[in-house]
A and B are shown apart, each in its own frame.
Chain A
Amino acid sequence: MSIKNVNILSMGEEILKVEKLSVEFYGQKVVENVNFSLKRGEVLAVVGPNGSGKSVLFRALLDLVPYSGKVTWQKGIITGYVPQKLAVEKDFPLTAGEFMALRGARPEKETEKALEDVGLHKKNKGYEWLLDKKMGQLSSGQLQRLLIASSLTGKPDVLLFDEPTAGIDIAGEETIYGLFRKLQASAELTVILISHDLSVVHDFTDNVLGLNRKQIFFGRPHEVLDHKLLHHLYGEEVERHHHDRDISVL
């Protein structure tokens, strides 16, 4: 209980500071001079066209690739990572339940709690069925839920969520964002997500980082998501976007 109180009190403190972050592959800069900070309980969206370095930025934040500049996490912060996808073929012999047990031996209660957090209740019909299903045969929505649940079992302070390019249809009316909102409230979670859906970003996030190798913008969604900056970020693409989809919310 006391830990919860501390978290509520410490809400708003800075837990991540990124200064002059650059990543280079084979002499080519793929991420260049990124600067931003993140406060506890915030939701930060990283947006940008394909190949703009969003996933690489994540990997740098997680210390999975060599980088220059400074990434400073507050002491003792636990990060949970939700990758875009897994390399499992349809017949890969690993059930959803076994996947949940991969990240070290955790008490069953903890795993059950994490599954509950993503809407998979033990009492529900189909719970056992889902956990006995092969990972490669899950729908993309089911897979996302499991990946998130798996990262939650480590009791992270920050969740880094790499959204798959395709919009995922999470079963029923609940979206992945609604899920995050709930998690944020119940577990005081801070979220960094790579998103492809600008209207959701606008409604859901506290800050937005526009990345196209270089940092194009960083700030509150209603301030930075204007047409000019988006055009700068996506180039021609946003025009098409404009015609194809309703972005009136912007």
Chain B
Amino acid sequence: MTNFQIISAIFIGLAAGYVGSFMILRRMALVGDALSHVALPGLAIAILLNINPFIGAFATLFIGIVFVWLIENKTELSTESLIGLIFTVSLAIGFLITPESELLEALFGDISKISAVDAYLSVIFSAILILAMRGISKGFILSTISHDLARASGVKVAKLNFIFLLLVAIAVALGIKAVGSLLMGALVIIPAITSRSITSSLRGYTIASALIGLISLLGGMAIAAKFNLPPGPIVILASSALFLVSLLFSKK
């Protein structure tokens, strides 16, 4: 593995695990999974226009989160089913417009192609993401456990939810290069559920989730590189293996 790959994996793993821990507390596992599919058409467009895939993925993800936010905050519609619909549609569109030669990479990622620019982008955005998430975490947790209590305490819940979704979009866009749009959802979900079964405080849970994200991504990539396997699926299998191990140490 190159230094660029290692640095990217460290930061993306931390950021995905950290933001994922908060998604799980909101029961947003499926939203995260579906949202990662929205990146696919963006990736395809970026490939066709020959621009950085991070930008393309983030552009469609941004549209995706605006959509989620509007459903959650401005309508009474059932979020789950509509998200399921729109996101499979975007997967279908993405599948159609992605050039066939690039399709596998878009779906499953290829961190071996990470450039210096990608690595710098990963470091900068991961750092911003972690700091911003830390900044909104108190209000976020308060509004998760009681919407009314949060609002009565002066938390601007709708605004905070939008910032949160924005951070999720950044995490997904960052991770796609590494594990692809099909599997990115797993990289935000699995470290969090692993961490949840072995920790009891919020602090412990979020930090452990970030570290497990890092170990999964870096470890999975190292194993994939050694045995010449595709990194995306190996990363997910590595994180799932950690989850199974965590069950042995479960605090319940």
A residues near B, CB below 8 A?
59, 62, 64, 79, 81, 83, 86-88, 91-95, 98-99, 101-104, 132, 134-135, 154
Complex Cα distance A108/B83, Å?
43
CB-CB < 8 A to B82: which residues of A? none
Complex Cα distance A244/B144, Å?
38
Quick one: given A83-B148, A93-B199, A95-B202, are A102 and B142 in contact (CB under 8 Å)? yes
Quick one: given A92-B25, A101-B138, are A134 and B148 in contact (CB under 8 Å)? no
Asked if A83 contacts B201 (CB within 8 A), the reply is no
Asked if A79 contacts B152 (CB within 8 A), the reply is yes
Asked if B202 contacts A87 (CB within 8 A), the reply is no
Quick one: given A93-B200, A93-B202, A98-B203, are A103 and B142 in contact (CB under 8 Å)? yes
Closest-by-CB residue of A relative to B250 is A91
Asked if B252 contacts A95 (CB within 8 A), the reply is no
Number of interface residues of B (CB under 8 A): 22
Could you write out 24 A-B pairs with CB less than 8 Å apart?
A62-B148, A62-B152, A64-B151, A64-B152, A81-B149, A83-B148, A83-B149, A88-B145, A91-B197, A91-B252, A92-B25, A93-B25, A93-B199, A93-B205, A94-B141, A94-B145, A95-B200, A95-B201, A95-B202, A98-B201, A98-B202, A102-B142, A103-B153, A135-B145
CB-CB < 8 A to A83: which residues of B? 146, 148-149
CB-CB < 8 A to A134: which residues of B? 200
Closest-by-CB residue of A relative to B196 is A93
Closest-by-CB residue of A relative to B145 is A86
What's the minimum C-beta distance from B74 to chain A, rounded to whole angstroms? Answer: 14
B84 interfacial by beta-carbon distance below 8 Å: no
CB-CB < 8 A to B152: which residues of A? 62, 64, 79, 81
Q: Mark B115-155, 1 if CB is under 8 A from A, else 0.
A: 00000000000000000000000100110111011011100
B204 interfacial by beta-carbon distance below 8 Å: yes
What's the minimum C-beta distance from A173 to chain B, rounded to whole angstroms? Answer: 29
Asked if B138 contacts A102 (CB within 8 A), the reply is yes
What's the minimum C-beta distance from B13 to chain A, rounded to whole angstroms? Answer: 20
Quick one: given A98-B201, A101-B138, A104-B138, are A92 and B153 in contact (CB under 8 Å)? no
What's the minimum C-beta distance from B196 to chain A, rounded to whole angstroms? Answer: 6
Complex Cα distance A210/B40, Å?
58
Q: Beyond A64-B152, A132-B200, A134-B200: 18 further Cβ-contacts under 8 Å? A: A62-B148, A62-B152, A79-B152, A83-B146, A83-B148, A86-B149, A93-B199, A93-B202, A93-B205, A95-B200, A98-B201, A98-B202, A98-B203, A99-B145, A102-B142, A103-B138, A103-B153, A154-B153
Query: Interface centre among A83, A87, A94, A104, by most B CB within 10 Å?
Result: A94
What's the minimum C-beta distance from A206 to chain B, rounded to whole angstroms? Answer: 23
Query: Interface centre among A87, A93, A98, A103, by most B CB within 10 Å?
Result: A93
Q: Mark B180-223, 1 if CB is under 8 A from A, else 0.
A: 00000000000000001101111111000000000000000000
Asked if B148 contacts A64 (CB within 8 A), the reply is yes
What's the minimum C-beta distance from B80 to chain A, rounded to whole angstroms? Answer: 17
Complex Cα distance A135/B196, Å?
14
CB-CB < 8 A to A87: which residues of B? 144-146
Complex Cα distance A88/B141, Å?
10
CB-CB < 8 A to B142: which residues of A? 102-103
Complex Cα distance A103/B142, Å?
8
What's the minimum C-beta distance from A120 to chain B, rounded to whole angstroms? Answer: 18
Query: Interface centre among A94, A102, A135, A154, by most B CB within 10 Å?
Result: A102
Closest-by-CB residue of B relative to A97 is B201
Complex Cα distance A242/B63, Å?
59
CB-CB < 8 A to A64: which residues of B? 148, 151-152
What's the minimum C-beta distance from B176 to chain A, rounded to whole angstroms? Answer: 28
Q: Mark B152-183, 1 if CB is under 8 A from A, else 0.
A: 11000000000000000000000000000000
Closest-by-CB residue of A relative to B209 is A93
What's the minimum C-beta distance from A190 to chain B, rounded to whole angstroms? Answer: 16
